[in-house]
Amino acid sequence: MPFTNRRHFLGGSAGLVLAPYVSAFAEYAEDVPHSRFGADATAEQVTAGIDLSGKTALVTGCNSGIGYETMRVLALRGAHVLGTARSMEKGRYACESVKGHCTPLVLELTDLDSVVACANEVQSMDVPLDILVCNAGILFRDRREVRGLEMHFVVNHLGHFILVNRLLDTVIAAPQGRVVVVSSRAHRSAPADGIRFDDLSGRSWTFSAYGHSKLANGLFSLELARRLEGTNTTSNSLHPGVVDTNIFRHDESRRSRPGLKSLGEGAATTCYVATNSALVGVSGYYFVDCNPEEPSALMQNVDMARKLWDVSEDLVSDFLVTRQAA
């Protein structure tokens, strides 16, 4: 069922109670087209025959891993890709190594001024942004803070929250803009009661900080989809699969896990959600292996999604362009 219809089932609930949501999602995404692609599909395969000439895409974390492959394939299909990296040197090297038109940009997600500067540079290009892929992320085993907040939450969620908000008008200006948020099945390892609004420093946490941030990614995408109703712009989140990339450089034990995807397979769902014509107008869903999959009840909690948006706005208000409340 489309996002607008899903709201009909959920709109009357109040608070952050999860029970009312479970039965409403018994037939999750029943009206969303299903693809023929599966876990072994590659980004090149899912975009075969698609012409992105004249379109502009932005991919965060373009210098390695899934972000690099996403940039490479979108550029291969004709898009002008704006690839962000933590330094111009890394971004330029990545952009120059792929076939097609790619422009490097600096984006350091721990530095919120850097996020603003990156968004300003994109806006100065004065072109609609057809695809915005929030891909960059971190994974640490120890607890770290940025500005008094847990670091996964800042980098994986808040930095992208600022970037998307500042570029949203640019995406809406495209004929059919798409915001694609790379979440993870790890969102299921978040705390049982969801986002820890009472302690975003992480000091009292005993659960996966990465999973907490991936839940935030999904909730952000869900609330963004609600706010985009009435426009031609969509927002969806996804799990790319487990891929041996630099995100595991601080946790080498995960590199030996069985069933790891190749980079091409890991970027497939991102590229599918970003480009496939069957998904025009499809918004507010979570995809795995190029098809919709029901996420946890927490990630479907529209009240928690709205609260996360409001709290995020308060936390980074100095870095946001003021937008009319939805």
How many angstroms separate the CA atoms of 187 and 184, rounded? 6
For 84-88, which contacts have Cβ atoms below 8 Å and span 24 or more sequence positions?
84/58, 84/59, 84/60, 84/118, 84/136, 85/61
| DSSP strands (E only) in the chain | 56-60, 80-85, 101-106, 131-134, 145-146, 149-150, 178-182, 234-239, 286-288, 291-292
Determine which one of 68, 210, 285, 286 is catalytic: 210
210 is catalytic: yes
Orientation of helix 112-124 relative to helix 159-172, angle to 10° = 10
Asked whether 65 and 245 are in contact (CB, 8 A), the reply is yes
Q: Are 108 and 114 in contact (CB under 8 A)?
A: yes
Q: Which residues are catalytic?
A: 210
